[in-house]
Structure 1
Amino acid sequence: MINYEQYARVVLQKGINLKKGQNLLISCNAGNYDLARSLATEAYTLGAGFVEISVQDNYITKARLAAQSGDELTYIPNYQIGKAHQLLSEDWARIRIDSTEEQDVLGDVDSDKLSLLSKASRTALRFVSTSMMNGEHSWCVICAPGPQWAKKVLGDKATTEELWDVLKPVLRLDREDPALAWEEHGHDLWNRCKILNEMKLDRLHFEAEGTDLIIGLNGIGRWHGGPGSLPDGRMVFNNLPTEEVFTTPDFTRCNGTVRTTKALKVLESPVEGAWFRFEEGKVVDFGADKGQDVLKQFLDMDEGARSLGEVALVDETSPIAASGLIFGSILYDENASCHIALGAGYPFCLELPPGTTGEETLKSYGCNSSLLHTDFMIGSPSLNVTGYDREGKAFSLIRSGRFVLA
């Protein structure tokens, strides 16, 4: 069994910055329960008040989808909603371990049923995702190696231990002081954001094979990356690993065509070779080599699913990209590649007037609203990104996949 003690400590101290007495919810699958247990054990060592592990299971979800239909799939127990309110009111921290051991379980289910189930859950618990995206509480998404994920990334004969050896340098666990290494990396990302913010960019132009896309930025938008600040001043990394700098674009200003460069999960189902054509901020045409049906369900989930909520820049020299591997996890692959997200935008990336709330008000400031937020990787070694300010001055940001920021 892999010793996760050091990893758990970094996640708890840098990922969620657990404070003494704070309660913690850890979500995982059966295949990554060992890491969840290590996190819980270390959390109590660090002074957690109460720790709960919640096991999610795509196999059970698949069984429900096969057996039920209609209103049966939209049932959400009231206790789940009450519990969610309690966790927010008590400022619980959250860690989600991505479902890398169950990646393909829902790949062949009825996409209409999956959409119905997902929409019901997302609608009932939307207040939770809104609070998280507003940066009001501490949360972190991570992954754990397992036999299925190892085979998917490294080949049929690969072991969990071999995948762990690949992940350790990506997670900076090979450093003498991993926590300090994350602090230093966070400062590097902050500096990159500082440069971008000083440019006061109006729009970005992405160009590569199959991609010619112009994304309008928000006049009150700010670039973020590395650790973010909680209301009490604590700094947290919402993703470990993270290599991106990102902002919330103006969801009404996107035109052109873009092709994804990595496979991903949409509504927990695999999608490959996706492409989109935007006009005036909305997807007006799309396709995919695999998973087109579930992609359609995603885009039809609500009005905001067809518009952008995020644009992120990632250097092809990031440790994840440099590995040359496709991880099949959005968390890892998005940090190896420039990406866009369809769905809800991040209000904390906008310099909004104090007390600004409500979907329509946020939309009036150019921040998209949706039940969804899914990243689509569009970066490659051939990608060029050029920024333009309001006067039309051009800034070379990325050439051949690498930051130049000139």
Structure 2
Amino acid sequence: MLPDFEARLRDYAAVIVRVGVNLQPGQKLLVTDPYDQQGVARSAEVLVDAVRRAALEVGDDFEVVWSPSAELRAMAEADQRGAFDRLVAQNTSRLTHHLRRGGAFLFLTGSQPRLMDGVPAAHLAAQHEIAWRHFGPIVQQLVRGASQWCIAPAPSPSWAALTFADLPSEQRLAALWRGVFDSVRADGTGDAVTRWNAHLDRLVATAERLNAARHSTVRLVGPGTDLTLGLPEKHHWCTAAQHTKHAVRHVINLPTEEIFTAPDCRRATGRVRVARPVCHAGTAIEGIELEFRSGRVVEAAARTNADLLRELLATDGGAARLGEVALLASELGAPAPSWPAARAVFHHPLLDENAANHVALGEAYPFCHRGWWKRPVNRSLVHVDLPLDARATLG
């Protein structure tokens, strides 16, 4: 393991608790992964313990929902929708109760990126729909400021083996931890929180410049990609630093290097070639290529898991339209990221999306639109980020 591992782990936990979640005195914290794992993987215990120590210095309670990983895969293989529905309903009840008590949330994700490899796409799509039918209403409350929430990556041996397969096995986990620590500016010096607050201030200033400019289009051009997006008149560029209804700032995902908004879901034209594997429903779709016309995907292909891509696009009326366009702050005049994510494929949505300009299929964040007429803003049960090797031009 890294020689400064413990110091960097303390920094990471401090950033999660004091910047990401921004836990308030006496507030309760619940830790889970409600997306693909229905709880935190046991391999994340070292990070959970560090977060627990940091949280209890501020809050007064700490709860963890652990993932039943083996049972989840068995349910998916056998297409046991009833059993999965009961499990998700139970977990959602815990989250709902926690939210009603004013608690904050930490979602530790990505520890098992290939948990569902080989499971039929129709089974995965059914599980995903069940999960979001239960969890979606909680997400909507959180997005609208009901309480603080933060998504952060939790390294594991299986994730490290996938991402750093070219390294000797005994070096892979350390390499992954180093990549995550670098991405969240946890260098072990004890001042990561201060540097994060300065970084967030720079991102907000960049977003304010974009909002003042009132652009009407974004064009993304690169290998296999030439996509033009229309922006609604009342679009609003945002950062991952958001505020609750009680004015508590928190960061909805760590790391973050992006400025993003909601494009007009009816005005996307062109083609995209997705530059990195897209992790979805416990597996990965690789080599995605899409063609858009009048805002909607009209052609779709993928090198792997093309059937899962088709299921994803058919989830609902908004799944084949775009809900987000995000630009790297480094391309917009802000300081460049201090981590080498652009040179590695991490097989994690947060790490890979923050290494590139990207768009997202599905749900738009409502705070990215300030008008009363919401028709241009996409709605969907899904939100899937697509990293692109493309430069952006604002018009």
AA of the residue aligned to 1:37:
D
Q: CA deviation at 1:110?
A: 1.2
Distance, in Å, in 1 between the alignment partners of 2:145 and 2:176 is 32
Assess, with a 3 A threshold, how the Cα gap between structure 1 residues 205 and 124 changes in structure 2: closer, same or farther.
same
SS of equivalent residue, structure 1 residue 201: coil
Instruction: Return 3-12 or 206-215, whichever deviates more.
Output: 3-12
Q: Which moved more, 1:204-213 or 1:65-74?
A: 65-74
Residue 182 (structure 1) aligns with: 196
Residue of 127, 132, 150 corresponding to 2:160: 150
Q: Is the 8 A contact 1:210 1:258 kept in 2?
A: yes
Task: Give the corresponding residue for 1:40.
Answer: 52
**CA RMSD in angstroms, aligned pairs only:** 2.0
Tell me if structure 1 keeps the 8 A contact 2:153–2:180.
no
- Cα deviation code 1:80-138 (max 9, x no counterpart): 443333222222211111133x1112021011111112111211232112112323321
Answering whether residue 30 of structure 2 is matched by residue 16 of structure 1, we say no
- How far apart are 1:283 and its partner, in Å? 0.9
CA distance in structure 1 between the partners assigned to 2:303 and 2:90 by the alignment: 40
1:389-404 aligned within 5 A: none
Residue 140 of structure 1 is aligned with which of 141, 150, 162? 150
Work out whether 1:386 is the aligned partner of 2:368. no
1:30 equivalenced with 2:42 (yes/no): yes
* Mean Cα deviation higher: 149-158 or 52-61: 149-158
C-alpha distance in 2 between matches for 1:36 and 1:176? 19
Does structure 1 retain, via aligned residues, the 8 Å contact 2:361–2:383? yes
- Return the alpha-carbon distance in structure 2 between the equivalents of residues 113 and 41 of structure 1: 39
Judge conservation of contact 1:303–1:370 (CA < 8 Å) in 2.
yes
1:58, 1:106 within 8 Å by CA — same for their partners in 2?
no
How far residue 325 of structure 1 moved from its aligned partner, in angstroms, is: 1.2
- 1:16–1:237 CA contact under 8 A, matched in 2: yes
- By how many angstroms is 1:6 displaced? 2.4
Deviations 1:160-191 (A, max 9, x none): 23332333332212255111110111111112
List aligned pairs for 1:52-71, cutoff 5 A. Answer: 52-69=63-80, 71=82
SS in 2 for 1:328: coil
1:89 aligns with 2:100: yes
Aligned residue in 2 for 1:168: 181
| Distance (Å, rounded) in 2 between the aligned partners of 1:139 and 1:181 | 20
Residues 1:94 and 1:171: Cα distance change in structure 2 (over 3 Å):
same
Give me the whole-angstrom Cα distance separating, in 1, the residues matched to 2:79 and 2:244: 41
1:6 counterpart (4, 8, 11) = 11
1:307 aligned partner: 321
Q: 1:337 — aligned with what?
A: 356
- Name the CA distance, whole Å, in 2 between partners of 1:22 and 1:210: 48
CA–CA separation in structure 1 for the residues paired with 2:134 and 2:154:
29
Tell me the CA shift for residue 332 of structure 1.
0.4
Distance 1:84 1:149, change over 3 A: closer
Give the residue type in structure 2 aligned to 1:15. G
**CA offsets per residue over residues 212-241 of structure 1, 9 Å max, x none?**
111111211111125222211121111111
- Name the aligned partner's letter for residue 229 of structure 1: H
Q: Is the contact made by 1:320 and 1:336 (CA closer than 8 Å) also made in structure 2?
A: no
Give the Cα separation in 2 of the matches to 1:129 and 1:164.
28
* Alignment correspondent of 1:233: 247
Contact kept? 2:279, 2:349, Cα under 8 Å: yes
Structure 2 SS opposite 1:52: strand
Per the TM alignment, residue 55 of structure 1 is displaced from its structure 2 partner at its CA by 1.3
Aligned-partner residue type, residue 119 of structure 1: E
* In 2, Cα distance between equivalents of 1:56 and 1:133: 24
Residue-by-residue CA offset, 1:233-270 (whole Å, 9 max, x unaligned): 12111111110110111111111111100112122221
217-226 vs 277-286, greater mean Cα deviation: 217-226
Distance change in 2, residues 1:89/1:294 (3 Å): same
Letter in 2 for 1:34: V
- Cα deviation, 1:15-38, whole Å, max 9, x if unaligned, reads 011001111110121111221122
CA-CA distance at 1:69 after TM superposition: 4.3
Q: How far apart in 2 are the matches of 1:25 and 1:310?
A: 28
Tell me the alpha carbon deviations over residues 252-309 of structure 1, each in whole angstroms, 9 at most, x when there is no partner. Answer: 1111111100112122221111011111111111000111111111111111111111
Deviations 1:68-89 (A, max 9, x none): 4465554466544433332222
- Structure 2 length normalisation: TM-score? 0.89
- Structure 1's 163 and 76: CA in aligned 2 closer, same or farther, altered over 3 A? closer
Distance 1:289-1:179 versus aligned 2 partners, 3 A rule: same
Pair 1:291 & 2:305 matched: yes
Structure 1 stretch displaced more, 21-30 or 150-159:
150-159
Q: Does 1:263 align with 2:282?
A: no
**Size of the alignment, in residue pairs?**
374
In structure 2, how many angstroms separate the alpha carbons of the residues matched to 1:289 and 1:281? 23
Given that residues 341 and 352 in structure 2 are in contact (C-alpha distance below 8 angstroms), is that contact kept between their aligned partners in structure 1? Answer: no
**Aligned-residue identity in percent:** 27
CA separation in 1, counterparts of 2:288 and 2:212? 34
Q: Find the counterpart in structure 1 of residue 368 from structure 2.
A: 349
Gaps of 5+ in 1: 354-360, 389-406
Give the TM-score, by structure 1 length.
0.86
Q: Aligned equivalents of 1:348 and 1:36: distance in 2?
A: 30
Gaps of 5+ in 2: 33-39
Aligned partners of 1:261 and 1:242: how far apart in 2?
19
Distance in 1, Cα, partners of 2:156 & 2:93: 33
Alignment-derived partner of residue 117 in structure 1:
127
